[in-house]
């Protein structure tokens, strides 16, 4: 594709936009603060849903939301990894502002529940804003924003410290190891024997040192070191076979209490649904904010038997369909309680599907539709373009589709606005209030530039040229796919943000509004249009950088390593384990 001056002729439309521009200061929804229900899927691709063009996957409930509300087609996550994207969602700010983005390729999210990084306590989440406005706020499902700072039970980063009145779910995230079939339990007697043997073995090298320091005789150093290594090896093997990843990361909490360690993964989704329904029943007098943060559709794709084999796409598809069914159950209770007209419902995914998730021929990760790339990549559309659906009957038009760029960070000021809260004035908020656009009071998204980071590295800039609606995208850095002709980083499993990446000077420029699949690289042209677009973007980057302040990095190496003294544990460390939950599931859930 080549540049032509036609690209600019559309700018004449500017005058038309202004004719329709009605700036309204009044807020029609102010006197009736709505209830708010937010659904966030984990790793779901935009191409997995019926309402985003998938005609072979069955997602009738999410499709119904789109039919009854507004569907955003250029809705963008602020990062293509869970922890930073969710931090931005909760705070309305680029994750680099809160230190929730990484300079290391190895730790781009929180890796251990017993680590010390997390969403800083001086960040103000939308839950906190709404709580201050009298909302009852609940988080049910995944958190993944850290837990403790300095001691096991300080829970400084806990959802209850970030504006939620109620929390039920996983403070961490689903992992393959959460599946009990992958890490068989060792029974208690054997565990104790192994533990005693490890301690005994560990004492041997110390005993060997005694004669040396007592001045009797000297055991050669090599012998001491070898026995120490053997003891360490034995300890490590014991530790791994004990299933520590599952036991330590896959836990379930209610508020500050650990109720299952390890979590029973086969029951957890039914429990999440049960909790969501009872939260609505309990607070139906409103106003309430319920954030349902699904464990779906992250691997290992924990799916009820009832749904296994239902879809055409193996376990992945079954898991998507189960999540859709859960959305339906929650929408049903909203209807049953006559809350529909007074409830703003939102559905999204934290970022795109993970292309590298495959097991043999089986697909375990999502489908990003026509968009290039996926989870973990900084700027390619497939990693960050996600579903975005808003339903609020009577206030928002039904069946409306908006193609302008919007961000998950916009939820923050949008919720603040509908709840009549005040935005914090002492910090930059990157999101924009979406209500005028959703209601049709304005015809364009307020976003002019969006910056797409991979960790702390700026990879891509998006320019929504408002006078003509064109959306330009410039990639300064792109990941190197492996194999080279492939579509993702299959060999390493996740594309790096720095190091082995490709730098582009001049940047790769695309017109996303006409070429959403990013296939046609625009080339410098005679009229100098290419240069002027790039110049405009570079100026924007300069301005943006001026607003960034140095903050402590939450994913530093020290923060992300596992610290025994921070490990949440019910029971006696290191034999953590309990099951305090009455997990009888009502029929039908």
* Catalytic machinery residues: 82, 144
Tokens of 196: 């005693």
* Total chain residues near ligand NAG (CB under 6 A): 24
**Does residue 527 contact residue 119 with C-beta atoms inside 8 Å?**
no
> ∠229-230-236 over CA atoms, to 5°?
90
From the list 175, 209, 529, 551, which residue makes contact with ligand NAG (rule: CB under 6 A)?
551
Max intra-chain CA distance, the chain: 98
From the list 47, 117, 286, 382, which residue makes contact with ligand NAG (rule: CB under 6 A)?
47
Q: Which residues within the stretch 100-129 sit at the binding site for ligand NAG (CB under 6 A)? A: 120, 122-123
Pairing verdict, β 136-142 and 457-465: unpaired
Nearer to ligand NAG, 255 or 358 (CB): 358
| Min separation Cβ 202 and ligand NAG, Å | 39
Report the C-alpha gap between 81 and 87 in whole angstroms: 10
Report the C-alpha gap between 471 and 479 in whole angstroms: 22
Tokens of 398: 């039904």
Question: Nearest Cα to 346, choosing from 384, 392, 380?
Answer: 392
| Min separation Cβ 129 and ligand NAG, Å | 14
| Min separation Cβ 410 and ligand NAG, Å | 19
Report the C-alpha gap between 477 and 539 in whole angstroms: 18
Interface with ligand NAG, residue 425, by CB under 6 A: no
In this structure, is the dihedral angle defined by the CA atoms of residues 196, 198, 204 and 210, taken in order, positive or negative? negative
Tokens of 152: 């096991």
| Min separation Cβ 558 and ligand NAG, Å | 15
From the number of C-beta atoms within 10 Å of its C-beta (0-12, 13-18, 19+), residue 549 rates as exposed
Residue 584 has a CB neighbour count (10 Å cut-off) of: 9
Tokens of 359: 């097991």
Q: Which residue is nearest to ligand NAG (CB)?
A: 367
Interface with ligand NAG, residue 584, by CB under 6 A: no
Nearer to ligand NAG, 260 or 554 (CB): 554
Interface with ligand NAG, residue 26, by CB under 6 A: no
Question: Nearest Cα to 490, choosing from 335, 377, 334?
Answer: 377
From 467-475, 485-493, 549-557, 572-580, give the range in contact with ligand NAG by CB under 6 A.
Answer: 549-557
Nearer to ligand NAG, 337 or 579 (CB): 337
From the list 191, 329, 427, 563, which residue makes contact with ligand NAG (rule: CB under 6 A)?
427
Tokens of 528: 């100098």
| Min separation Cβ 428 and ligand NAG, Å | 9
Nearer to ligand NAG, 55 or 526 (CB): 55
Cα-Cα end-to-end distance for the chain: 52
Report the C-alpha gap between 94 and 461 in whole angstroms: 13
Q: Which residues within the stretch 369-398 sit at the binding site for ligand NAG (CB under 6 A)? A: 369, 393-394
From 337-345, 373-381, 441-449, 553-561, give the range in contact with ligand NAG by CB under 6 A.
Answer: 337-345
Interface with ligand NAG, residue 341, by CB under 6 A: yes
From the list 69, 84, 92, 317, which residue makes contact with ligand NAG (rule: CB under 6 A)?
317
Residues that bind ligand NAG (CB under 6 A): 47-48, 53-57, 120, 122-123, 313, 317, 338, 340-341, 366-367, 369, 393-394, 427, 549, 551-552
């Amino acid at each position: 594709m080549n540049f032509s001056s036609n690209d600019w002729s559309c700018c004449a439309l500017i005058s038309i936009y202004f004719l329709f521009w009605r700036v309204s200061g009044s807020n029609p929804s102010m006197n009736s603060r709505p209830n708010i229900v937010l659904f966030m899927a984990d790793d779901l691709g935009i191409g997995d849903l019926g309402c985003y063009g998938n005609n072979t996957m069955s997602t009738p409930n999410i499709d119904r939301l789109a039919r009854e509300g507004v569907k955003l087609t250029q809705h963008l996550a602020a990062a293509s990894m869970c922890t930073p994207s969710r931090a931005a969602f909760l705070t309305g700010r680029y994750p680099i502002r809160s230190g929730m983005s990484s300079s290391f390729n190895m730790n781009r999210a929180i890796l251990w529940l017993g680590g010390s990084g997390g969403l800083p306590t001086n960040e103000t989440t939308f839950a906190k804003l709404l709580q201050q406005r009298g909302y009852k706020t609940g988080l049910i499902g995944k958190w993944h924003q850290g837990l403790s700072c300095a001691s096991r039970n300080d829970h400084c980063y806990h959802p209850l410290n970030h504006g939620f009145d109620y929390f039920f779910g996983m403070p961490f995230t689903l992992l393959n190891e959460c599946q009990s079939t992958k890490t068989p339990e060792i029974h208690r007697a054997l565990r104790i024997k192994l533990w005693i043997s490890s301690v005994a073995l560990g004492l041997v090298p110390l005993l060997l040192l005694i004669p040396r320091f007592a001045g009797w005789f000297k055991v050669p150093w090599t012998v001491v070191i070898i026995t120490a290594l053997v003891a360490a090896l034995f300890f490590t093997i014991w530790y791994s076979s004990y299933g520590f990843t599952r036991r330590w990361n896959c836990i379930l909490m209610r508020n500050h209490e650990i109720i299952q360690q390890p979590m029973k993964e086969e029951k957890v989704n039914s429990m999440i649904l049960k909790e969501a329904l009872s939260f609505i029943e309990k607070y139906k007098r409103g106003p309430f904010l319920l954030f349902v943060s699904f464990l779906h559709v992250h691997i290992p794709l924990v799916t009820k038997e009832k749904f296994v084999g239902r879809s055409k796409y193996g376990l992945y598809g079954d898991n998507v369909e189960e999540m859709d069914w859960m959305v339906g159950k929650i929408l049903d209770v909203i209807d049953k309680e006559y809350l529909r007209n007074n409830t703003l419902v939102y559905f999204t995914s934290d970022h795109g599907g993970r292309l590298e998730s495959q097991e043999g021929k089986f697909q375990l990760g999502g489908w990003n539709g026509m968009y290039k790339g996926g989870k973990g990549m900084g700027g390619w559309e497939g990693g960050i373009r996600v579903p975005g659906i808003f339903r609020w009957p009577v206030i928002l038009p039904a069946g409306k589709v908006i193609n302008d760029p919007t961000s998950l960070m916009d939820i923050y000021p949008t919720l603040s606005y509908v709840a009549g809260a005040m935005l914090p004035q002492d910090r930059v908020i990157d999101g924009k209030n979406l209500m005028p656009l959703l209601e049709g009071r304005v015809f364009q998204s307020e976003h002019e530039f969006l910056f797409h980071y991979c960790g702390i590295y700026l990879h891509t800039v998006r320019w929504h040229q408002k006078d003509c609606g064109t959306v330009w995208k410039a990639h300064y850095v792109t990941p190197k796919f492996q194999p080279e002709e492939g579509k993702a980083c299959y060999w390493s499993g996740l594309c790096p943000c720095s190091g082995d990446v490709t730098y582009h000077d001049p940047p790769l420029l695309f017109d996303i509004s006409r070429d959403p699949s990013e296939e046609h690289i625009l080339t410098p042209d005679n009229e100098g249009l290419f240069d002027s677009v790039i110049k405009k973007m570079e100026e924007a980057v300069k301005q943006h950088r001026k607003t960034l302040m140095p903050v402590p990095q939450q994913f530093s190496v020290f923060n992300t390593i596992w610290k025994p003294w921070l490990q949440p544990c019910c029971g006696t460390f290191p034999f953590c384990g309990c099951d305090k939950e009455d997990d009888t599931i009502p029929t039908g859930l």
